Amino acid sequence: MKPLENLLRAHEGPMTSELVLRPGDFGLGRVPARLKPVSTTNTVCGFCSTGCSLRVHLDAAGQAVNLTPDPDYPVNLGMACPKGWEALAPLAAADRVTTPLLRAAGGRFAPVGWEQALRTFCGRLKHVQARHGPHSVAVLSTGQIVTEEMALLGALTKFGMGLLHLDSNTRQCMATTHVAYKESFGFDAPPFTYADFEESDVLVFIGANPCIAHPIMWQRVMSSRRQPLVIVVDPRRTETAMAAGRHYAIQPKSDLTLLYGLAHLLINRGAADEAFIRASTDGYEAFALHVRDFPPSRVCAATGLTPEELEQFAAALADREKRVSYWWTMGVNQGHESTRTAQAIINLALLTGQIGRPGTGPNSITGQCNAMGSRLYGNATSLLGGYDFADAEHRAHVARVLGLDAALIPSAKSWAYDQIVDGIESGQIRGLWVIATDPAHSWINQGRLAALRSKLEFLVVQDMYATTRTAQLADLILPAAGWGEKEGVLINSERRLGLVRKVARAPGAALSDFAIFKLIAEYWGCGKMFARWSSPEAVFQLLKELSRGQPCDFSGVRDYAHLAEARGIQWPWTEASEMAASGRAPQRQRRLFADGRFFTPRRRARFVFDHPRPMPEEPDGSYPFLLLTGRGTSAQWHTGSRTDKSAVLRKLAPRGAIIEINPVDARRLVIRAGDRVLIQSRRGEMRATAVVTPTVQAGQVFIPMHDDQVNRLTFAAFDPHSRQPSYKACAVRLKRAIQERRST
């Protein structure tokens, strides 16, 4: 084994320094007088899946001074949301973890060196494996590290350490879309490009609040010169709904019935695109028969819409002269029948032939900056590169590309997140390694998870901060570098590979996740297997090879420099396309399925459908309110581990937990704005400050997911196909918490 110091040095890497500063670069930024930026580099934002490019201004040592949005990037066109502007602030936070921390005998954390940390990591987890079997150690990872790190983690754990169970927070977020696209199109392939926001005549947003969650995408919709009709389907009157032309405030989780009802009306109107259906799809007859059972009477009863509203909705989708696009996010993906709901959206686009042309498509917007990288290269549900663990030829191919023995690749799939949690409860999982996610805040029905801590013999958390809820429960904390302190590739919602640069040094002994995984490989004893995985860019070359011949083929991307030059490149970009382009950059906006050919064996898209099922926990006499959860403001990111560290972002967010209540309910319960409210479910309770607002319907309440108490309340139901949690609907009761009125 190489001495630790050499390894550490090898992974520290040089600072980025390129591109000379141009006049005007600092027009918008705040440049403290003492700091003199001397150069600028472009990097992709590490919060949401939009993938905006930021120009980071560097001092002579190559350290970031400040940043401005990139005016010449096809994604954000010179814009950034508050999180992007403040992206450097979380790096300097006081609670960054700067050395490995090991829980000592008295229960307190003690700083230790990497040598001890790595020996403890390997020793303890191997001990668990020796006692309870190789699969008794599981991993929960993330959609928020670079693709090269995800792939290395997936390969290290499954091929090197002999683990089987690896899942990530992508399960909480994008599993539904992954399964829905795979079944309908034959591959997990979002078809759109962001120009479709501007090219569309009718945009339908279902369970999506882009004004808050994807502000730059929303800006593009708002700035469209086509003056499109924007339709929002959301039980709440969100900021997005307020700005839209039409808002259908349906009953929560009535989407599937609504979408089948729309298909029924479209078919009756003769709006089916029969030529497209015949040439490019399978299963239409059965689908048409299925939706006959969804007449307006049934749909109106389930959704709360009037027959006129429903007709008007269908009419907007029926016009063949118009380009219609459908966009969905967590209001769809986080549900008990979410996969079929996502597919019901896909079916509407297939039925009307609204796919493969500008301004069309059934388009899922992703959440985290690298959800798409995780879906392709997480090595969790699919084998690296979108392959299948169960297929011997796929295993042999992946092994060949990576220079591995195919026998090292498991043929079985990992347990999903919820099954890993069940495995902890049943004693089958005894060791857990958590990377860049905070399940003790974000997992559904959090009380149960917390109770399971004592069942784990060893819990390792790898994070930028030691203060996360899960880190506080850990036996060992590994200090990680964050976005901006390392390099690699993120894949955004429109399949664009974008480059993240190192613009700051990680504090203390914190290391990039890449470096930590490499060190673990060495100390575990499988370092040789990863000799070719020598740097993020070397791994990028391996991933590129793995993509060759797949729908996500990006073999035409030469290297990182090519990505930077071309301003990000959308997959697919094959070697053949690169040759044909003979030196010209790829077109800046490319969409899939223009030829009406899909990725299924018959090259046809499939109509997939099912019967709607009742909500798992409906409100009743004891728990009369339906709780909805989701994003609160554009300044808050999930658990707040990063965004709470910016003074600017803190000012843009409410203080503490809030609950939105309809005025009718508030009056009945004698709750006034600013009162403290006690919210109880069958699982747990929390307190929050009342915001009385008609944006939520009577009988429903909304609590942003950023407060760490909200998942005490949620009910652990899952979609059976994607196993994604249904975070957005459970029954609660409320009352004013006596003598706790807070002035607002």
Ligand X SMILES: Nc1nc2c(c(=O)[nH]1)N[C@H]1C(S)=C(S)[C@@H](COP(=O)(O)OP(=O)(O)OC[C@H]3O[C@@H](n4cnc5c(=O)[nH]c(N)nc54)[C@H](O)[C@@H]3O)O[C@H]1N2
The C-alpha atoms of residue 436 and residue 486 are separated, in whole angstroms, by 14
Which of 628, 666, 679, 686 touches ligand X by CB under 6 A? 628
Task: For residue 409, give Cα distances in angstroms to 164, 220, 396, 539, 544.
Answer: 10, 43, 9, 18, 19
The C-alpha atoms of residue 110 and residue 132 are separated, in whole angstroms, by 28
Structure tokens at 618: 């409906």
- By the rule CB under 6 A, 172 interacts with ligand X: yes
Beta carbon of residue 490, minimum distance to ligand SF4 (angstroms, whole number): 9
Q: With contact defined as beta carbons under 8 Å apart, do 669 and 688 qualify?
A: no
Report CA 621 to chain centroid distance, whole Å. Answer: 36
Comparison of 64 and 179: residue with beta carbon closer to ligand SF4: 64
- By the rule CB under 6 A, 710 interacts with ligand X: yes
Residue 58, by phi and psi: left (phi above 0), alpha (psi -120 to 50) or beta? beta
Comparison of 429 and 705: residue with beta carbon closer to ligand X: 705
Which of 37, 47, 368, 489 touches ligand SF4 by CB under 6 A? 47
Residues 6+ apart with CB under 8 A from 229: 201, 202, 203, 245, 246, 316
Stretch that binds Mo ion, among 165-173, 203-211, 382-390, 405-413 (CB under 5 A): 165-173
Which of 16, 40, 42, 48 touches ligand SF4 by CB under 6 A? 48
Q: Name the CA radius of gyration of the chain, rounded.
A: 25
Closest residue to ligand SF4, judged by C-beta, is 84
Comparison of 125 and 491: residue with beta carbon closer to ligand SF4: 491
Stretch that binds ligand SF4, among 76-84, 532-540, 603-611, 708-716 (CB under 6 A): 76-84
Structure tokens at 668: 């009945």
Select the binding partner of residue 513 from ligand X, Mo ion, ligand SF4, none (C-beta < 5 to 8 A, by kind): ligand X
Q: What is the 3-state secondary structure (H, E, C) of 258-292?
A: HHHHHHHHHHHCCCCCHHHHHHHEECHHHHHHHHC
- Between strands 202-206 and 165-168, the pairing is unpaired
The C-alpha atoms of residue 533 and residue 560 are separated, in whole angstroms, by 16
- By the rule CB under 6 A, 257 interacts with ligand X: no
Comparison of 83 and 448: residue with beta carbon closer to ligand SF4: 83
The C-alpha atoms of residue 436 and residue 569 are separated, in whole angstroms, by 26
Q: Peptide bond preceding 295: is omega within 30 degrees of 0, i.e. cis?
A: no
Which of 216, 384, 661, 677 touches ligand SF4 by CB under 6 A? 216
What is the four-CA torsion angle of 350, 352, 356, 361, rounded to 10 degrees? -80
Which of 331, 367, 619, 725 touches Mo ion by CB under 5 A? 367
Residues 6+ apart with CB under 8 A from 263: 287, 291, 294, 344, 347, 348, 351
In the shown chain, the binding pattern of residues 461 to 480 toward ligand X, with x for contact by CB under 6 A and - for none, equals: -xxxx--x-----------x
Stretch that binds ligand SF4, among 81-89, 273-281, 442-450, 545-553 (CB under 6 A): 81-89
Select the binding partner of residue 52 from ligand X, ligand SF4, Mo ion, none (C-beta < 5 to 8 A, by kind): ligand SF4
735, β-bridge pairs: 678
Beta carbon of residue 424, minimum distance to Mo ion (angstroms, whole number): 22
Comparison of 74 and 367: residue with beta carbon closer to Mo ion: 367
Select the binding partner of residue 51 from Mo ion, ligand SF4, ligand X, none (C-beta < 5 to 8 A, by kind): ligand SF4
Count residues binding ligand SF4 (CB under 6 A): 13
Q: Which residue has the tokens 């429109």?
A: 494
Q: Which residue has the tokens 């390129």?
A: 18
Comparison of 544 and 642: residue with beta carbon closer to ligand X: 642
Which of 284, 637, 715, 718 touches ligand X by CB under 6 A? 637
Comparison of 236 and 567: residue with beta carbon closer to ligand X: 236
- By the rule CB under 6 A, 299 interacts with ligand SF4: no
The C-alpha atoms of residue 555 and residue 662 are separated, in whole angstroms, by 53
Comparison of 514 and 609: residue with beta carbon closer to ligand X: 514
Task: For residue 7, give Cα distances in angstroms to 337, 460, 507, 512, 522.
Answer: 48, 21, 18, 12, 9
Beta carbon of residue 171, minimum distance to ligand SF4 (angstroms, whole number): 21
- By the rule CB under 5 A, 556 interacts with Mo ion: no
Give me the residues that bind ligand SF4 (CB under 6 A), please. Answer: 45, 47-48, 50-52, 76, 80-81, 83-84, 215-216
Give me the residues that bind ligand X (CB under 6 A), please. Answer: 48, 144-145, 169, 172-173, 206-210, 212-214, 233-236, 238, 252-253, 255, 329-331, 334, 367-368, 435-438, 441-442, 462-465, 468, 480, 482-483, 513, 628-631, 634, 636-639, 641-642, 705, 710-711, 714, 727-728
